[in-house]
Chains A and B, each alone.
Chain A
Amino acid sequence: MKPTFLDFEQPIAELENKIEELRFVQDDSVLDISEEISRLQKKSQELTKTLYSKLTPSQIAIVARHPQRPYTLDYVDGLFTDFQEMRGDRSFADDPAIVGGLARFNGQPVMVIGHQKGRDTKEKIARNFGMPRPEGYRKALRLMRTAEKFGLPVMTFVDTPGAYPGIGAEERGQSEAIGRNLYEMARLKVPVIVTVIGEGGSGGALAIAVGDYVNMLQYSTYSVISPEGCASILWKTAERAGDAAEALGITAPRLKSLGLIDRVVNEPLGGAHRDHAAMMTALKRVLQEQLKEAGSRGLDELLKTRFDRLMSYGRFKEDAA
């Protein structure tokens, strides 16, 4: 797969093009230019390193939406075996913007649930760009209940611009579906491990993101409102999205320092989309560790810790009464 370069990656793109050209010439060249190629490759890597070491929040927001970034089903392929997709909310429809089902993680049966975006135009539309409708959240809850009944840990993968703002979604109770999940997940009697893999878009993300461990990939984002939405409300123009991204504090390291997530999972050089396999290996190590720890903690302690953490969210000052 030929990589797609983002705007701010143009210097890398130029180098990579040059390397590609040289490779092409090399085949019928009498001169040995392989040394030149490897020199350029090294340069390209270093350039990537420098660029990625100082990404701004709005650039990270773009990487989080990279069209070649691994999506939930890529993680299902890479991290799980025996995946059995389970569809439908049993009352209205199946929402392809959320996928889920039974699978094995290192041989252990678990329930996997995640937002799913599409790769090509057709799939993007079918999956509604990863924006779930109420039936998506209700399917997720149904699968969580099944997991609870059989004592299977739940692993969720978060990647959505947000819950879908549509007429049908409102008519069928988008608000209720999200709120219900928040309520039920707070006390779900199995371990829940959450990983934000791309975009953590507001309530639509949170509705499958209440758990015992909350991880974020290095270049994923998690936000109360999209930078564009925030800018258009507070600055009256979506063009100030960069400022909004900065102000909202949407990046993994920032949220870790605010104590709102547990762990930042480092991505391969240049982002997860550059090397899916390396990303899988890195995330697998973390999930393995957390699953083991959750298993050793005992359900009562797990639930108490989860609930106490939910109650601890928020910062305020308290005046002496």
Chain B
Amino acid sequence: MSWLNKLLPPKIKRDPRTSKASAVPEGLWSKCPACEAVLYHTDLQANLQVCPKCDHHHSLNARERLDMLLDAEGRREIGAEVKPIDILKFKDSKKYPDRLVAAAESTGEDDALVVMQGSIHNMPAVVAAFEFRFIGGSMGSVVGERFVRGVQAAVEARAPFICVAASGGARMQEGLNSLMQMAKTSAALQLLSDYQLPFISILTDPTMGGVSASFAFLGDVVIGEPGALIGFAGPRVIEQTVRETLPEGFQRSEFLIEKGALDMIVDRRELKLRVATLVALLMKEAQPVSA
């Protein structure tokens, strides 16, 4: 609540549920956090959630991401049967099962990774996308298992595996089992290598901690989205450790490409075709035609 609200006498205070302002449908307009331009929601959506004024890449949820990368026809979800459990009876200020339920209600997903088999510009592919809104896109047992099942499906179909990361790191509530998902997902990529199948790793805002320090940088091609925060330790932790102010743009895609950590930064509006182009080159196939 802002200071202004606190000053207002209770009668004048607006209840957001009854206020007349809610007559305007929610989400019709939104403000770009980067350039503060007020944007018409439909425009933003048509532009893949990239600000038409300043090219700021707004976050996408997992299914929007899959929609954007995969062709509309012939999709099949992989690993949806795998569901989370509370191994440790973990409880902090909230019980882990309660967190899972709350995250499921607010996202419509049951864990932080959605994997789909389908095609990209008519080339078969398996794509995994993180759902950041689900407990910070954290990687626990379900994320690890769905990732591996996705890799296995790619191997069976002799198709490339593409992963779009957006994660704060490992899922603390699953203890050491979540740390082991780093080893599990990284090891699984050996299966792709066995069959010369490409792994394209796309890092979006943010890709940190245990996800960053496992499969994320093991891509045959590692792509960053513009402006994405990507790193092992979070900026706050680093600042507390080194007691220095961090350099401008530290851990952003543009910084990482300078340091040699990324192959390329790709604008989301070109991403699908670029991924298809890369896969076709690596798999010695004809250049795909944009649909």
CB contacts (< 8 Å) of B88 on chain A: these are 247-249
Q: What string of 1s and 0s marks CB contacts (under 8 Å) between B188-220 and chain A?
A: 111000000000000000000110111111100
- Report the interface size class on chain B: 35 or more
16 contacts between A and B (CB under 8 A): A163-B213, A165-B232, A171-B259, A173-B259, A175-B230, A175-B232, A178-B213, A179-B214, A183-B186, A203-B232, A223-B175, A225-B170, A307-B187, A313-B141, A313-B144, A314-B141
* Residue pair A310, B176 in contact (C-beta under 8 Å): no
* Residue pair B179, A203 in contact (C-beta under 8 Å): yes
* Residue pair A318, B190 in contact (C-beta under 8 Å): no
A183 to B, closest residue via Cβ? B186
**B142 at the A/B interface (Cβ < 8 Å)?**
yes
B166 to chain A, nearest CB (A): 15
Q: What string of 1s and 0s marks CB contacts (under 8 Å) between B170-190 and chain A?
A: 101011111111111011111
CB contacts (< 8 Å) of A173 on chain B: these are 217, 259-261
Tell me which of B84, B183, B187, B242 contacts A316 (CB under 8 A): B84
Q: In the complex, A178→B231 CA distance in Å? A: 12
A258 to chain B, nearest CB (A): 7
A229 to B, closest residue via Cβ? B237
* Residue pair A225, B172 in contact (C-beta under 8 Å): yes
**A37 at the A/B interface (Cβ < 8 Å)?**
no
**B156 at the A/B interface (Cβ < 8 Å)?**
no
Q: A165-B234, A250-B175, A311-B184 are in contact. List 20 more A-B contacts (CB 8 A).
A: A165-B232, A166-B242, A167-B247, A176-B261, A180-B217, A183-B186, A183-B189, A223-B179, A224-B172, A224-B179, A236-B93, A249-B175, A255-B176, A311-B187, A313-B183, A313-B184, A314-B144, A314-B177, A317-B82, A319-B81
Tell me which of B177, B215, B241 contacts A165 (CB under 8 A): B241
CB contacts (< 8 Å) of B230 on chain A: these are 175
* Residue pair B172, A314 in contact (C-beta under 8 Å): no
A98 to chain B, nearest CB (A): 16
**B244 at the A/B interface (Cβ < 8 Å)?**
yes
State whether A318 and B82 are in contact (beta carbons under 8 Å apart), knowing that A173-B217, A178-B214 are contacts in the complex.
yes
State whether A233 and B241 are in contact (beta carbons under 8 Å apart), knowing that A175-B216, A316-B141 are contacts in the complex.
no
Q: What string of 1s and 0s marks CB contacts (under 8 Å) between A243-262 and chain B?
A: 11001111000010010100
CB contacts (< 8 Å) of B247 on chain A: these are 167
Task: Across the A-B interface, give the 5 residue pairs with the lowest CB-CB distance, nearest first.
Answer: A314-B141, A165-B233, A186-B187, A182-B186, A313-B180
Interface residues of B (CB under 8 A from A): 81-85, 87-88, 90-93, 140-142, 144-145, 148, 170, 172, 174-184, 186-190, 209-210, 212-218, 230-234, 237-238, 241-242, 244, 246-247, 250-251, 259-261
B259 to A, closest residue via Cβ? A171
* Residue pair B259, A172 in contact (C-beta under 8 Å): yes
* Residue pair A234, B93 in contact (C-beta under 8 Å): yes
* Residue pair B176, A166 in contact (C-beta under 8 Å): no
Q: In the complex, A313→B247 CA distance in Å? A: 38
Give the total of A residues in contact with B, Cβ under 8 Å: 55
State whether A165 and B238 are in contact (beta carbons under 8 Å apart), knowing that A180-B217, A206-B182, A314-B144 are contacts in the complex.
yes
* Residue pair B238, A175 in contact (C-beta under 8 Å): no
Q: What string of 1s and 0s marks CB contacts (under 8 Å) between A153-190 and chain B?
A: 00000000001111101111111101110110011000
Q: In the complex, A313→B174 CA distance in Å? A: 12
Within 8 A of B (CB), among A302-321: 307, 310-311, 313-321
State whether A170 and B81 are in contact (beta carbons under 8 Å apart), knowing that A179-B186, A249-B175 are contacts in the complex.
no
**A80 at the A/B interface (Cβ < 8 Å)?**
no
CB contacts (< 8 Å) of A202 on chain B: these are 170, 179, 210
**A230 at the A/B interface (Cβ < 8 Å)?**
yes
* Residue pair B238, A258 in contact (C-beta under 8 Å): no
B184 to A, closest residue via Cβ? A313
**A110 at the A/B interface (Cβ < 8 Å)?**
no
Q: In the complex, A321→B82 CA distance in Å? A: 10
Q: In the complex, A258→B92 CA distance in Å? A: 20
* Residue pair A210, B183 in contact (C-beta under 8 Å): yes
Q: In the complex, A174→B230 CA distance in Å? A: 11
* Residue pair B187, A310 in contact (C-beta under 8 Å): yes
B205 to chain A, nearest CB (A): 15
**A235 at the A/B interface (Cβ < 8 Å)?**
yes
* Residue pair A311, B148 in contact (C-beta under 8 Å): yes
Q: In the complex, A313→B214 CA distance in Å? A: 15
* Residue pair B190, A176 in contact (C-beta under 8 Å): no
State whether A224 and B170 are in contact (beta carbons under 8 Å apart), knowing that A165-B237, A174-B233 are contacts in the complex.
yes
B261 to A, closest residue via Cβ? A173
State whether A313 and B181 are in contact (beta carbons under 8 Å apart), knowing that A224-B170, A224-B172, A230-B172 are contacts in the complex.
yes
Q: In the complex, A236→B94 CA distance in Å? A: 12
**A75 at the A/B interface (Cβ < 8 Å)?**
no
